[in-house]
Amino acid sequence: MGVDHRSAPASVREALAFDGPRCAEGLQALTSAFPGIEAVILSTCNRVELYLAGDPMAVPEAEALAAELIRFHGVDEDLIGGHLVSYHDEGAVGHLFRVSSSLESLVLGEGQILGQVRDAYRAAIDAGTVGPIFHQVFQAALRVGKLVRTQTGMDQGKLSVASVAVDVAREVFDSFTDKTVLVIGAGKMGETTLQHLKGLNPGTILVTNRSAERAEAAAARWGGQAYPFDRLGQALVEADLVISTTAASEPIVTLEQYHRVQRARRNRLALILDIAIPRDFDPRIGDLDRVMLYHVDDLRAQAEQNRMQRQKGVDPALAIIERETATCYARLRHQHDAGHLLRELGDWYDAARGRELEKLFASRPHLCADESDREAIAHAMLRLQNQFLHHPRAAVRSAAADPPENHPHPLLDYARHLFGLGDRSPKSLRKI
């Protein structure tokens, strides 16, 4: 159960978030409120989801879980009304697999969510709220997330203008260790650009902004050097790569100004990526010799092409997820049925052993004149029972771990028939 970027606005997601230590506190609150469950909390900027598993009597209904969420965060019921979405059983497994494969993400194919699912799983392990169901389900989710990326190409191509701009730079320059990069603007787009540029490992990063304080702060965060905005001309002379991201209402670099810059550069190759709206550079600058000028529309077209390429991978990804969901849930169901069979088998033999011991002790009281003798005989009978059942139990567990094509292994029915247990398998799997 939870909310995401489609079902709830940011204000609701923020109110329900489990940040930092709140995640461990939330896990403990869930397992205290609903004893016997397994629990994992996935809390990101785009989603807050509670995953619960256990026996049907342990897992709460949607209303009870919603009430606990409201109590824990101390929010008004009206705040989350109509925003919570829930999935059950195989639907819950399939939803998690879609999340880990980024099909539920704001940006299709983004890679961050897989790490966030892994972190949520590890946090629940540390809190002691993961058991056999979620060990299997979340490990499968991580594997499926990787499988979708490798087999569908959904992680190929950048989708943001800033990241595409950096990709264009990679195509122009073989190496950046000897290059000077200039970022004009220290707002949100400038920060995003600096983040992507860091992976290029350039020799020098210059950051300039009308606000010297903002330029200095951004440069300090990303290992760059702040440059005075009133010396922009000199910064352009030094820079091999320029990425401009300001919110200026008119061009900040005219054709005449850049003529002077290029003469001072002695016509060295310059790559200018103008991702500002309106444009920061006069478009005619791109006609100058040894100057490559890309505007935001050029980069947007590439980003859209990348998005369409990822969209083509959705159907193959869904096919993978459907297959893996069915396999995972079938394995859970078979293991649950096998566990029920093993408990039945153990209970039947425990009862039979108990009856025979009572008869023995009643008919041969001299065998148990001493309490220690009675305990020794009972213990010997238990060991004998366990030896008889060792191989049948191992065979049943093995059959449940590897069911043939998502169908129950015939050995489970054979075991019931062989030991006279009848067809008393449970009708429903533990709820997830």
Could you give the residue numbers annotated as active site?
A: 45
Give the DSSP letter of residue 156.
-
Task: Copy the structure tokens of residue 295.
Answer: 């505007």
What is the DSSP pairing of strand 2-4 with strand 241-244?
Answer: unpaired
In angstroms, how far is CA 222 from the centroid of its own chain? 26
CA distance 89 to 65: 16
Q: What sign does the dihedral 197-201-205-207 (CA atoms) show?
A: positive
Residue in 335, 106, 37 with CA at minimum distance from that of residue 1: 37
Cβ–Cβ under 8 Å, residues 164 and 302:
yes
Task: Specify the DSSP element, H or E, that contains 272.
Answer: strand 270-274
In angstroms, how far is CA 152 from the centroid of its own chain? 18
CA distance 196 to 200: 8
Cβ–Cβ under 8 Å, residues 159 and 142:
no
* 3-state SS string for 45-80: CCEEEEEEEECCCCCCCHHHHHHHHHHHHCCCHHHH
Return the half-sphere exposure (C-beta side, CA atoms, 13 A cut-off) of residue 423: 3
Looking up tokens 């603007």 gives 185
What is the number of H-type helices and E-type strands within the chain? 16, 9
- The terminus-to-terminus CA distance of the chain in angstroms comes to 11
Q: Give whole-number Cα distances, 119 to 86, 116, 161, 171, 205, in Å.
A: 22, 5, 28, 34, 32
Compute and round to an integer the Cα radius of gyration of the chain: 32
Q: Give whole-number Cα distances, 184 to 190, 320, 323, 363, in Å.
A: 7, 44, 49, 97
Q: Give whole-number Cα distances, 130 to 19, 39, 340, in Å.
A: 19, 6, 20
Q: Which residues pair with 2 in a beta bridge?
A: 49, 85
Number of residues written out for the chain: 432
